[in-house]
Amino acid sequence: MLKNLLLAIALLAVLIGPIVMRPHGEHGTVPGEREIVIITPHNEAIREEFARAFAAYHLAKTGERVRVDWRTPGGTSEIARYVASEYLSSFHQAWEAQPGRVWSTVVEQNFDNSRTTPAAMPDQDTEAQKARRAFLNSKVGCGIDLFFGGGTFDYAQQAAAGRLVDCGFVSEHPELFNDHAIPRTLGGESYWDPEGRWIGVCLAAFGICYNTDSLGRLGISTAPSQWEDLADARLYHEVALANPTQSGSVNRAFELLIQQQILLETESRKAAVNRALSPAEETEAVRTGWKRAMQLLLKIGANARYFTDSSSKISLDVAAGDAAAGMTIDFYGRVQSESVARPDGSSRLQFVTAKGDTTFSADPIGLFRGAPHPDLAREFIAWSLSEEGQKLWDWKVGTPGGPARYALRRIPILPAVYAPEYRQFRSDPDVNPYAAAGSFSYHSGWTGPLFKPIGYIVRVMCIDPHDELTEAWHALIEAQFPPQAMEAFLNVDAVSYDAAKGPIRDVFGPGHIQEVQLAKKLADGFRAQYRHAAELARQGK
């Protein structure tokens, strides 16, 4: 009996202990402490350093204590789904609260639809336009103040939907947002929204991390430096990749790979004719470059050990030797390289930006419509773009204004922090996005409208049929790549540029039935294709 009683007491303590011991006040705040709610894909190190530094800044400025309530449902794709669901629920409730308004499918599909534009006058609105106008004029919220981190595509989508609103900072600080400070665009990348709905706070580049010990084991003496190197057959089952349908940042890396192949094709054709290409010639070059990119992605995917749903896992596994190389974001590679460095400073994990397609894309911040703590949210935005906030990204631990515990190894967006007097404090003093501008330029017209289809294509071509893909690649390697089998293997007609712009892009819209149906059809087609290529390889054809 005594033993059972003690077990019951222990179980009760486990259940009610966290409730009893938690700080007093709503959501864990203590009396007199304010709160700001931020949703983010940023890792724990960034969250800890920014929460600590902002709390210290706000306390010194106002005498008030503030706590950051982080929401971390996953990558930007998961965040987008969560936020959309919360706004749907909130607007549904607000809509039905108005006399005479009835919820309908039309209202649901149009209130946050960027393609629905209200009429010139409210009395001319259709039901869809009424819903859109009501949402854009509302203070309906999702219970969250700020969206912090992720790619510009995701922010542009949230802004177009009407979920992100002007925070006022861009219009209030013209001295910061111009070609002599933070430019509107650089290398084809957008750094802030002219309407002030999102602002880049740091920058990211994409590249390759690799394990020098693993490369030696595989007999590879030249380290990978460009995307094509990840298609090397000696890296079979040794490449770590992330799922682009679950991370906008990862999808951006795949898009830049495609951009590079298109650029190579267009530049080659320009050189051949010694003049600029006509619109028709450029379109044909884009088609060919796209095809080359799809074939390259297919081979890289065939070398993949996995497609993870956590992009931070890649540098960890490469450092551990579970994979020899991987596609990753710069700061993941640099942070992990530092964490496994030897006493002499050398490291088995190295990171290199991919040669030929280095652009620095922005990680923004944005204010949500109906933010519960708008004044505090605007203060966080202003602080994150000040020198004090910017130093956290790349200053060494313990340096003046730097992080307290973690070196974040991110690239600040504020040009002022690249001043020579700050060089001694920076973790990456040789990285300057403004000095490197011009090495590569992103052409949004080529692939910008196909951002979502790109991740979708990688999924149906490489992820869903991954077993068949890797089996065929292994058979091709064993047979030393017989031509007929390789031709069958590299057939990417089903995901051609015209298919991506047409039937593939067309399935993205309200509802997901067509999207799922097409994904199954395409993936099944690739499975059959890979099986056929494997059989031809075994026959030596």
| Mean local confidence (pLDDT), 475-481 | 97
Residues 448, 344 within the same domain: yes
Q: How far is the C-alpha of 5 from the C-alpha of 106, rounded, in Å?
A: 59
Of 77 and 260, the structure prediction assigns the larger pLDDT to 260
Tell me the three state secondary structure of residue 148: strand
Give residue for tokens 């579970």: 322
Q: For position 19, what pLDDT does the model report?
A: 37
pLDDT in tens, 346-405: 999 999 988 776 788 999 999 999 999 999 999 999 999 999 999 999 999 999 999 999
| Mean local confidence (pLDDT), 151-155 | 91
pLDDT in tens, 235-273: 999 999 999 988 777 888 899 999 999 999 999 999 999
Q: For position 22, what pLDDT does the model report?
A: 40
Q: For position 14, what pLDDT does the model report?
A: 44
Specify the number of domains making up the chain.
Answer: 2
Residue 272 lies in a domain: yes
Residues 418, 445 within the same domain: no
List the one residue out of 315, 355, 131 whose CA is nearest residue 223. 355
What sign has the CA pseudo-torsion 321, 326, 328, 331? Answer: positive
350 touches 212 (CB < 8 A): yes
Residues 288, 426 within the same domain: no
**Cα 54 to Cα 36, 251, 367, 385, 470, distances in angstroms:** 11, 31, 17, 12, 48
Residues 210, 335 within the same domain: yes
pLDDT in tens, 12-69: 544 444 433 344 333 455 667 899 999 999 999 999 999 999 999 999 999 999 999 9
204 touches 331 (CB < 8 A): yes
Percent of the chain with pLDDT over 90: 81
- Report residue 306 as tokens: 């996995």
Q: For position 10, what pLDDT does the model report?
A: 52
Q: How far is the C-alpha of 50 from the C-alpha of 163, rounded, in Å?
A: 24
Return the bridge partners of 209, or none: 326, 351
Residue 38 lies in a domain: no
Q: For position 511, what pLDDT does the model report?
A: 66
- Report residue 429 as tokens: 């003093």
Residues 415, 500 within the same domain: no
Q: Cα-flanking dihedrals φ and ψ of residue 515, to 5°? A: -60, -45
- Report residue 463 as tokens: 């992820």
Quote the domain boundaries for residue 393: 76-204+360-436
Tell me the three state secondary structure of residue 211: strand
Residues 375, 445 within the same domain: no
Query: How many CB atoms sit inside 10 A of residue 128's CB?
Result: 19
**Identity of the amino acid at 186:** L
Kindly report the length of the chain: 541
Residues 411, 476 within the same domain: no
Q: What is the mean pLDDT of the chain?
A: 91
| End residue of a domain, out of 380, 409, 436 | 436
List the one residue out of 385, 26, 2 whose CA is nearest residue 199. 385
Residues 228, 315 within the same domain: yes
List the one residue out of 414, 417, 411, 391 whose CA is nearest residue 403. 391
- C-alpha 297: how far from its chain's center? 18
**Identity of the amino acid at 170:** V
Contacts of 445 (CB under 8 A, 6+ apart): none
Residues 131, 184 within the same domain: yes
Q: Cα-flanking dihedrals φ and ψ of residue 326, to 5°? A: -165, 160
Residue 53 lies in a domain: no
Residues 183, 127 within the same domain: yes
Q: How far is the C-alpha of 510 from the C-alpha of 25, rounded, in Å?
A: 40
Q: How far is the C-alpha of 474 from the C-alpha of 56, rounded, in Å?
A: 56
Residues 243, 276 within the same domain: yes
Where residue 446 sits, what CATH number does that domain have? 3.40.190.10
Residues 82, 177 within the same domain: yes
Residue 213 lies in a domain: yes
Query: How many CB atoms sit inside 10 A of residue 29's CB?
Result: 16
Tell me the pLDDT band of 439, cut-offs 50, 70 and 90.
low
Residue 43 lies in a domain: no
Residue 25 lies in a domain: no
Tell me the pLDDT band of 2, cut-offs 50, 70 and 90.
low
Residue 61 lies in a domain: no
Q: How many helices (H) and strands (E) does the chain have?
A: 22, 14
| End residue of a domain, out of 415, 436, 457 | 436
Residue 299 lies in a domain: yes
Across 142-146, 202-206, 243-247, 527-531, least confident range? 243-247
Return the bridge partners of 54, or none: none
Strand 189-190, strand 185-186: pairing = antiparallel
Q: Cα-flanking dihedrals φ and ψ of residue 321, to 5°? A: 85, 5
Q: How far is the C-alpha of 358 from the C-alpha of 363, rounded, in Å?
A: 16
370: left (phi over 0), alpha (psi -120 to 50) or beta: left
